[in-house]
Amino acid sequence: MATITEDLVLLLLDPESGRAIVDSTSLDRAVGGALLLDLSTRDRLTADGTGARARLTVADSSTTGDPLLDTALARLEGRHPLRAQKAVERLARKTREPVLQRLVERGLVRRDRGRILGVFPVTTWPAADAGPVTELRRRIAEVLRDGAPPDQHTALLISLVHAVKAEHKLVDGPRRQLRARADQVAQGDWAGPAVRKAVQAVQTSVAVAVAASASAAESSGSS
């Protein structure tokens, strides 16, 4: 099964244009959060406290068998207890490219290089195989729009989609209702207490980091 991190990035890319459907800060913070959730579901991290101030601790530093996750775990080890928001920001750095490369290797997206106005270089990641992302979006829609109960993997994805306010970009329907349902899913009892605690800490941390970045950008633009 694909990692939460890979599936999240696949969801947050437009299959046709290959561009992210959220801004770069939101994408990077979501990736950092997804890595933390991948590690939590593999019993590598524990959470103590609530919200963005919760502290994350490496409970098991043994290999996960996944190089991407092992690299993330190594970046956290020896720095604990670490506030959840700091952990998100730490894993958000220079992580997007390895995840995208993994999707290329799996044949799900392709790397297209071009130039804007014939001058500025740009790289996009359109779908090479639209089947998996179509299925992911169908599962998200079943839960958010149709009220289906989520499995743990889908619920984790929704918790991160909710944190970056992207529900309406994936599912057709009233934005407020989609947000409310996503929040309900994120707070649900679909995981054990340890994972649920980590999810709430990570989700809050991603949302806080994204909001802080947006506020800073607005202040810079108005100065």
Q: Where are the domains of the chain?
A: 4-215
Q: What would the pLDDT profile of 45-101 be if each residue is shown by its tens digit?
A: 999 987 778 899 999 999 999 999 999 999 998 767 899 999 999 999 999 999 999
pLDDT one-digit tens code per residue, 123-140:
999 999 999 999 999 999
3-state secondary structure of 124: strand
Q: If residue 41 lies in a helix (H) or strand (E), which one and from where to where? A: helix 24-41
Closest CA to 129 of 109, 104, 102, 105: 109
H helix intervals, 42-95 = 67-76, 84-92
pLDDT for res 194: 79
How distant, in Å, are the alpha carbons of 7, 21, 98, 104 from that of 111? 17, 17, 12, 7
State the average pLDDT for the chain.
Answer: 91
Tokens 């990692």 belong to residue: 3
Question: Please, are residues 171 and 178 in contact by the beta-carbon 8 Å criterion?
Answer: yes
The CATH number that domain 4-215 falls under is 1.10.3630.10
Q: Who contacts 103 (Cβ-Cβ below 8 Å, separation ≥6)?
A: 6, 9, 10, 109, 125
